[in-house]
Amino acid sequence: MSSSSSEIGRRPLLAAPFLVLATSARAADWPQRAIRLICPYPPGGITDIASRLIAAELQAALGQPVVVENRAGASGSIGVTAAGQASPDGYTIVMGTNATFGTNPSTFASLTYDPIRGFEPIVAVARGPLIVLVANRLPVRSMQELVDYAKARPGEVTYGSPGIGAPVHLTTALLGSLTRTELVHVPYRGSAPALSDLAAGHLAMMIDNFPSGIALARSGGARALAITSRERSVLAPEIPTVAEALGIEFEAGSWVALMAPAGTSPAIVVRLNAEGRKALESEALRERFAASWLEPMGGSSTDLAELIRREIAQWRGVAQRAGITPQNATN
């Protein structure tokens, strides 16, 4: 082998330490300009609210603007895809959800991002239970009465959801599977029209996100029977969980978490995790979350990675057992 070809063969080995040093130096100097936090849903929703609350805390801690950019559409896939394609330099992060990093991998015919290999988990931000509602016309006041009512009327109890494959669709399918009840799915384009039909008595039941669901229940538009989290929520401790009401293993809910494009410096991920956890421990942020019916989470980036893997596996199984065919994204 000639000296020149030997030299060429050694170059990657010689360059590697310098590359690591350069990356470490960039991470040490980070951030030097504004950070973009993509919210993959429209303004005003829970994901948007959580994004803006945590962005304000990170901005104060990092000394640079953290700007929320709403990139909605396709059940969050448009915004998440944009984030995954961004430069992994720490200046673009995204607020992932139980849909984008939980149910979408099982319900989209062609997902435009890789929820595992395409992102670096940073920190779980907040969670909220789902709530089981029934129309006032139904003569049921507990989960057991609802199950008994549905078993006595197979194929007659209708439930709404924001669309085929939406997290609340899968959650209701899981409930039907575990209780051996035949519930009829009626998909809508969003939760609002489904809740309106529930209030009007056109639907028998619905599982929905907690903020909109509890608002309808407390206004008298529907009856709240249970929440889907493992434990009762501090936000509404009077409402039992599905698990305790029926004596079954049942847990589901919505959550939001910060993610970065794959390849983002581990040092930046560690810094963001540390600042995020610190913010989530502050009483002021906890109070703001509670006002939006959210509970802070936290934990390590490894904890978040495990949550994502667990959610994807769980909902893939539910979708397969329910015979839910993956759909093409349309909104």
Averaged pLDDT, 177-187: 95
- Domain annotation covers residue 82: yes
- pLDDT digit string (tens) for 198-255? 999 999 999 999 988 999 999 999 999 999 998 898 878 999 999 999 999 999 999 9
Residue 291 belongs to domain with CATH number: 3.40.190.150
One domain for residues 240 and 138:
yes
CATH code for the domain in which residue 194 is found: 3.40.190.10
| pLDDT, position 328 | 61
144 and 235 in a single domain? The answer is yes
Q: What is the mean pLDDT of the chain?
A: 90
Residue 18: the pLDDT is: 47
Mean pLDDT of 41-45: 91
For residue 103, the enclosing domain spans 31-128+254-322
Our CA angle for 97, 101, 104, nearest 5°, is 105
From residue 70, alpha-carbon distances to 49, 189, 215 in Å are 11, 20, 25
Q: How confident is the model at residue 116 (pLDDT cuts 50, 70, 90)?
A: very high
pLDDT of residue 189: 86
Q: Are residues 262 and 117 in the same domain?
A: yes
| For range 169-197, the mean pLDDT | 94
Last residue of a domain, one of 226, 246, 266: 246
122 and 135, same domain (yes or no): no
Residue 267 predicted with pLDDT over 80: yes
Report the predicted TM-score, pTM, of the whole model to 2 decimal places.
Answer: 0.85
* Any domain includes 168: yes
Q: Is residue 10 scored above 80 in pLDDT?
A: no
Residues 116 and 137 in one domain: no
Q: Is residue 327 part of a domain?
A: no
Domain count, the chain: 2
pLDDT-above-90 percentage for the chain: 76
Exposed e or buried b for every residue in 195-206, given b needs 16+ CB within 10 A? bebbbeeebbbb
For 70-113, what is each residue's pLDDT tens digit? 999 988 999 999 999 999 999 999 999 999 999 999 999 889 99
Domain boundary among 229, 246, 263: 246
Q: Is 136 left (phi over 0), alpha (psi -120 to 50) or beta?
A: alpha
